């Protein structure tokens, strides 16, 4: 008798695993290569393997769970993975604290030295206390002191005014003010307090947050987390659909994100020993959809032709308006969006990589489900967005997964030699974007894939079952999940679609500028996947043009670097506006040559 088999889907990594009915969630996760904290070894006595079921049928909560989980957790539907059995196809959300090794979050990104030109500066004032002979209001007294310091006509938000009287009295009428653009006070602090800023890159999948000392410009602490909106759709389009289909959906997604950002703020503050009130300015960058979902702007028109942004220009508003807990008067700044699918994060990336300052002909791109490309040539700046799809995020690939521990990220195949390397060096549990890119490139070089993308030839790891040809990257014995990890014809096809979209976008920009591949003097690749991908492989499969390797540069999370620059430099904010004003956005959908170029780019040459 064979028992029924169900699929367990594990968020946020996106791993799937098939298990027999009755399998414990903890075991299912382990089989999928997702290691949960389980200090007690699965005895139900430590409460550390908390998971949140999203859908599917599970065994009812045990008495052990009722004892170990808090009433709040129970009410919210949390379960202990070691106690809970799979009774149907299920989908689970695994909180970050339940994972032994969190998903790789790419926080780095080079620091381009930026001249400090912060928007918020400290001003130390000492006031004479009121008495029966001097009954001026507290604010009038402070206004006078600011005027004496050379700052007349300074504004205060209501939230800040609410703290004024007690803070003045608590500090003996001597305080440090955080003064923004010489026109508004955003924080009232104890004398000598250091001012900090918050920069966040809000990715569709990941959040990267930085705490920056506004006096030195240095990053004091950094922290990463998954974007919690992932539970409402893995990509931008499915989140827009969620908002369109649910009343108040936009608010829900906004609140989820803001809660996560507040969590990161707490984490950064604890790590650096900084009070929330000391964070006097924030910069948030993200694609146009993340930008709109964070700010509470409507997204319906982003999901319908002609796909326009509600707001393109740079925005700034009090952080309290979106519920972000910083200093009471702190502002949030977001750089401009270029178009519906070329967002503020691309502008930040161009700044962070110093791209718009590089002389000569430069291509800059950030590969994701949408790939944004900019071409700078003879004073023109062209940009476009390519629908490259989620293959490089591990989606739509049979054994695909995100860049988490156990993911195959490198493949080498040369004659007798065959090597795979996984993130963390452990037994393979799947294959991530840079791994599938490598695999396809190596199979091409070895002649095991033809120009149409068909697998054939002779190799010990190449196996033909009926009509299906597959290349085995890890056998059931080699893998960490007890079954094979392989590359299929369909996987190769997904990579073809992605690379053709990216290459065709680039070709259209070159056509528009009237130049050719070889005219590109600098080719800048930003973002997580762009940093870890093998440039040779990208050239081999034809995704990138065949330029000398020294013209390429991988710059890491340049959007995060750009966000930090925008935090400390009014000059960089003007540059961001300038980029948005000068850019020529090229809508690929209306380019007559696009389909021809795209079809040509599908093949391997």
Q: Residues in the site for its own copies, rule: CB under 8 A? A: 130-133, 135-140, 143, 157-159, 161-162, 164-166, 169, 295-298, 300-301, 305-313, 315, 317, 321-322, 337, 339-340, 585, 587, 589-590
Measured from the CB atom, the residue of 116 and 589 that comes closer to its own copies is 589
How far is Cα 15 from Cα 430, in angstroms, rounded to an integer?
A: 8
**Distance in Å, CB of 174 to its own copies, minimum:** 17
**Distance in Å, CB of 533 to its own copies, minimum:** 30
Measured from the CB atom, the residue of 77 and 298 that comes closer to its own copies is 298
How far is Cα 71 from Cα 66, in angstroms, rounded to an integer?
A: 8
Helix (H, G, I), strand (E, B) or coil at 370: coil
**Distance in Å, CB of 163 to its own copies, minimum:** 8
**Distance in Å, CB of 453 to its own copies, minimum:** 31
**Distance in Å, CB of 159 to its own copies, minimum:** 8
Q: Output the CA–CA distances (angstroms, integers) from residue 464 to 373, 447, 472, in the order listed.
A: 39, 16, 11
Q: Judge if the upstream peptide bond of residue 46 is cis by omega within 30 degrees of 0.
A: no
**Distance in Å, CB of 169 to its own copies, minimum:** 7
How far is Cα 366 from Cα 345, in angstroms, rounded to an integer?
A: 9
Q: What is the largest CA-CA distance in the chain?
A: 99
**Distance in Å, CB of 202 to its own copies, minimum:** 16
Measured from the CB atom, the residue of 50 and 291 that comes closer to its own copies is 291
> Around Cβ 151, how many Cβ atoms within 10 Å?
17
Say if residues 329 and 157 touch (Cβ distance below 8 Å): yes
Residue of 338, 340, 339 lying closest to 350 (CA atoms): 338
In DSSP notation, 258-286 reads HHHHHHHHHHHHHHHT--GGGEEEEEEEE
Q: What's the DSSP call for residue 389?
A: -
Measured from the CB atom, the residue of 8 and 160 that comes closer to its own copies is 160
**Distance in Å, CB of 322 to its own copies, minimum:** 7
How far is Cα 279 from Cα 265, in angstroms, rounded to an integer?
A: 9
How far is Cα 297 from Cα 286, in angstroms, rounded to an integer?
A: 14
What residues are paired with 134 via a beta bridge?
A: 131
How far is Cα 313 from Cα 334, in angstroms, rounded to an integer?
A: 9
How far is Cα 251 from Cα 545, in angstroms, rounded to an integer?
A: 43
How far is Cα 343 from Cα 385, in angstroms, rounded to an integer?
A: 10
Measured from the CB atom, the residue of 295 and 370 that comes closer to its own copies is 295
Measured from the CB atom, the residue of 383 and 540 that comes closer to its own copies is 383
**Distance in Å, CB of 127 to its own copies, minimum:** 12
Nearby residues of 600 by Cβ (< 8 Å), 6 or more positions away: 504
Nearby residues of 21 by Cβ (< 8 Å), 6 or more positions away: 3, 4, 5, 6, 85, 86, 87
- Helices (H) and strands (E) counted in the chain, each on its own, are 16, 27
Measured from the CB atom, the residue of 37 and 322 that comes closer to its own copies is 322
Q: Output the CA–CA distances (angstroms, integers) from residue 436 to 223, 353, 429, 440, in the order listed.
A: 28, 27, 13, 6
Residues in the chain: 605
**Distance in Å, CB of 320 to its own copies, minimum:** 8
**Distance in Å, CB of 139 to its own copies, minimum:** 4
Measured from the CB atom, the residue of 187 and 420 that comes closer to its own copies is 187
Q: Output the CA–CA distances (angstroms, integers) from residue 525 to 278, 372, 538, 563, in the order listed.
A: 35, 11, 11, 17
Measured from the CB atom, the residue of 138 and 201 that comes closer to its own copies is 138
Q: What's the DSSP call for residue 22?
A: T
How far is Cα 588 from Cα 365, in angstroms, rounded to an integer?
A: 16
**Distance in Å, CB of 291 to its own copies, minimum:** 11
Measured from the CB atom, the residue of 13 and 591 that comes closer to its own copies is 591
Measured from the CB atom, the residue of 161 and 427 that comes closer to its own copies is 161
Measured from the CB atom, the residue of 221 and 382 that comes closer to its own copies is 382
**Distance in Å, CB of 588 to its own copies, minimum:** 10
- Which tokens belong to 120? 């918020």
3-state per-residue secondary structure call for 174-215: EEEEEEECCCEEEEEECCCCCCEEEEEEECCCEEEEEEEECC
Measured from the CB atom, the residue of 94 and 168 that comes closer to its own copies is 168
**Distance in Å, CB of 186 to its own copies, minimum:** 14
Residue of 393, 348, 362 lying closest to 532 (CA atoms): 393
Measured from the CB atom, the residue of 172 and 306 that comes closer to its own copies is 306
């Amino acid at each position: 008798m064979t028992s029924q088999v169900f699929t367990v889907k594990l968020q946020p990594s996106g791993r799937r695993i098939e298990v027999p009915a009755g399998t414990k969630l903890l075991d299912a996760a382990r089989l999928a290569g997702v290691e949960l904290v389980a200090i007690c070894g699965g005895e139900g006595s430590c409460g550390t393997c908390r998971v949140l079921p999203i859908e599917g049928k599970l065994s009812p909560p045990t008495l052990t769970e009722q004892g170990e989980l808090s009433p709040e957790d129970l009410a919210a539907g949390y379960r202990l993975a070691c106690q809970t059995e799979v009774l149907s196809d299920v989908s689970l959300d695994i909180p970050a604290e339940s994972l032994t090794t969190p998903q790789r979050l790419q926080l780095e990104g080079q620091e381009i030295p930026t001249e400090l030109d912060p928007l918020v500066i400290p001003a130390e004032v000492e006031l004479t206390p009121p008495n029966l002979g001097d009954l001026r209001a507290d604010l009038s007294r402070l206004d006078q002191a600011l005027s004496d310091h050379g700052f007349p006509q300074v504004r205060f938000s209501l939230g800040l005014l609410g703290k004024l009287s007690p803070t003045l009295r608590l500090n003996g009428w001597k305080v440090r003010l955080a003064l923004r653009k010489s026109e508004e006070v955003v924080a009232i602090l104890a004398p000598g307090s250091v001012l900090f800023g918050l920069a966040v890159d809000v990715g569709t999948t990941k959040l990267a947050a930085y705490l920056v000392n506004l006096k030195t410009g240095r990053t004091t602490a950094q922290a990463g987390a998954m974007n919690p909106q992932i539970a409402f759709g893995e990509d931008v389009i499915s989140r827009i659909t969620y908002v369109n289909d649910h009343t108040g959906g936009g608010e829900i997604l906004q609140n989820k994100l803001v809660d996560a950002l507040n969590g990161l703020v707490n984490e950064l503050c604890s790590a650096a020993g900084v009070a929330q009130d000391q964070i006097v300015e924030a910069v948030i960058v993200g694609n146009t959809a993340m930008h709109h979902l964070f700010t509470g702007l409507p997204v319906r028109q982003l999901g319908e032709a002609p796909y326009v942004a509600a707001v393109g220009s740079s925005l700034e508003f009090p952080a309290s308006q979106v519920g972000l807990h910083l200093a009471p008067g702190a502002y949030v700044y977001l750089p401009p969006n270029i178009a519906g699918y070329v967002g503020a994060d691309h502008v930040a990336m161009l700044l962070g990589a110093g791209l718009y300052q590089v002389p000569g002909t430069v291509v800059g791109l950030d590969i994701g489900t949408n790939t944004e490309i900019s071409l700078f040539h003879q004073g023109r700046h062209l940009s476009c967005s390519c629908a490259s799809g989620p293959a490089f995020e591990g989606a739509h690939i049979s054994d695909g997964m995100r860049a988490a521990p156990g993911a195959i990220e490198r493949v080498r195949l040369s004659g007798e030699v065959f090597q795979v390397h996984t993130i963390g060096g452990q037994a393979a549990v799947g294959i991530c974007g840079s791994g599938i890119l490598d695999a396809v490139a190596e199979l091409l070089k070895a002649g095991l894939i033809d120009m149409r993308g068909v697998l054939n030839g002779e190799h010990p790891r190449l196996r033909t079952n009926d009509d299906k040809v597959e290349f085995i990257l890890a056998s059931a014995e080699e893998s960490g999940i007890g079954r094979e990890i392989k590359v299929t014809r369909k996987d190769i096809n997904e990579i073809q679609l992605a690379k053709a979209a990216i290459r065709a976008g680039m070709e259209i920009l070159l056509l528009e500028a009237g130049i050719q591949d070889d005219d590109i003097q600098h080719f800048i690749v930003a973002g997580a996947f762009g940093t870890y991908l093998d440039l040779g492989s990208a050239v081999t499969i034809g995704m990138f043009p065949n330029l000398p390797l020294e013209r390429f540069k991988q710059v890491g999370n340049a959007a995060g670097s750009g966000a930090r620059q925008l935090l400390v430099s009014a000059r960089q904010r003007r540059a961001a506006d300038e980029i948005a004003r000068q850019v020529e956005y090229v809508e690929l959908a209306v380019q007559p040559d696009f389909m021809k170029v795209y079809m040509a780019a599908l093949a391997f040459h």
